Amino acid sequence: MRIELEDVRHVYAPGTPFEVEALRGVSLAVEADGVLGIVGGTGSGKSTLAQHLNLLLAPTSGRVLVDGADARMLKGGELRRRVGLVFQHPEAALFAPTVEEDVAFAPSRLGLGEEETRRRVRETLELLGASHLAGRAPHALSGGEKRRVAIAGVLAMAPEVLVLDEPTAGLDPATGEDLLGIVRALRDGGTSIVVISHDLDEVAEVADRVCILEGGEVRAAGTPEEVFYAHPEASLAPATVRTASILRDPYPEVGKPVRFEETLAALNGLLEGRG
């Protein structure tokens, strides 16, 4: 499914002294495949935007379209099933006595039948490399394990679009890298994925398209190459792009690498060719 935000504004607490305009006319498409990275500073509106993708928050004005039709036309619950939202620090919401039961909670409410629910739970845990945790108590797991189980709970609904808000925050680097591997595997399996992150280096590694939010507005959107090389300043571009954009000036053959391996190859090419 393709989601489109059309000039979406969102105002929290309108008409009160606490009124805040978190989104100021955002237009953006989430394509039916690939990984969209949404980056931006604290308070840029990233998390507010995420919650519009399944209408957990409704726009104050503007529209959310699903495959061209107004998202509000979808039957109750259908949008939430098709668009899975994983919040920041989702492990805070684990509640069942075992991992298996926790992951089964949402699919068991879809009327799938016990057999099908069990199959989905098993497959989802397998996909996330968490099968061995099925019988464990969630509270006794490590931070990285809990994060996987929380994501499994959303994935078990087989959403077409998976939205991950700061998926690696607070995880050690190796655990974060494992999680990005899972994101790539899901993408290759046909799930459309939105990764919201303030870690530009991480988004550079995993995103097929990038959107930079600033003050509730889209500052730039496009391929990582287009977006990051248009804004190579410190707070908007990953370390790879910042390095390559300095070297491109005298040596255009560096090109516009974004991912780590691409950048290493491009810079090695420069040092070997010229050195």
Partner 1 sequence: MSDRNDQGARHGGPPVVSCENLAYAYPGSERAALAGVSFELRAGEYVGVVGPNGGGKSTLLRLLNGLLRSDSGGVRVGGLDPATEPYLVRKRVGMLFQNPDNGLVAPFVEDDVAFGLENLGVEREEMRERVGAAIRAVGLEGYERREPHTLSGGEKQRVALAGLLALDPEVLLLDEPTSMLDAEGRAETLARLEELRGARTVLHVTHHLDELLSADRVLVLNAGELVADVPPERLVTDADLLEENRLALPTILRLAAGLGLSSAKPRTPEELAAAALRRVKQGVEAR
Closer residue to partner 1, CB minimum distance, 67 or 253: 253
User: Judged by CB under 8 A, does residue 34 bind partner 1?
Assistant: no
Of 132, 130, 129, 107, nearest to 118 by C-alpha is 107
Partnered with residue 38 across adjacent β-strands are 196, 211
CA 197 to chain centre: 7
User: Judged by CB under 8 A, does residue 92 bind partner 1?
Assistant: no
With contacts defined by CB under 8 A, name the span among 4-12, 98-106, 126-134, 262-270 that binds partner 1.
262-270
CB–CB of 5/28 below 8 Å? yes
The per-residue DSSP string of 170-215 comes to TS-HHHHHHHHHHHHHHHHTT-EEEEE-S-HHHHHHH-SEEEEEET
User: Judged by CB under 8 A, does residue 170 bind partner 1?
Assistant: yes
With contacts defined by CB under 8 A, name the span among 26-34, 64-72, 98-106, 241-249 that binds partner 1.
241-249
Closer residue to partner 1, CB minimum distance, 45 or 59: 45
User: Judged by CB under 8 A, does residue 253 bind partner 1?
Assistant: no
Distance CA 106, CA 93 (A): 12
- From the CB of 271, what's the least distance to partner 1, in Å? 6
User: Judged by CB under 8 A, does residue 177 bind partner 1?
Assistant: yes
User: Judged by CB under 8 A, does residue 230 bind partner 1?
Assistant: no
From 5, 26, 35, 40, residue interacting with partner 1 (rule: CB under 8 A): 40
- From the CB of 146, what's the least distance to partner 1, in Å? 9
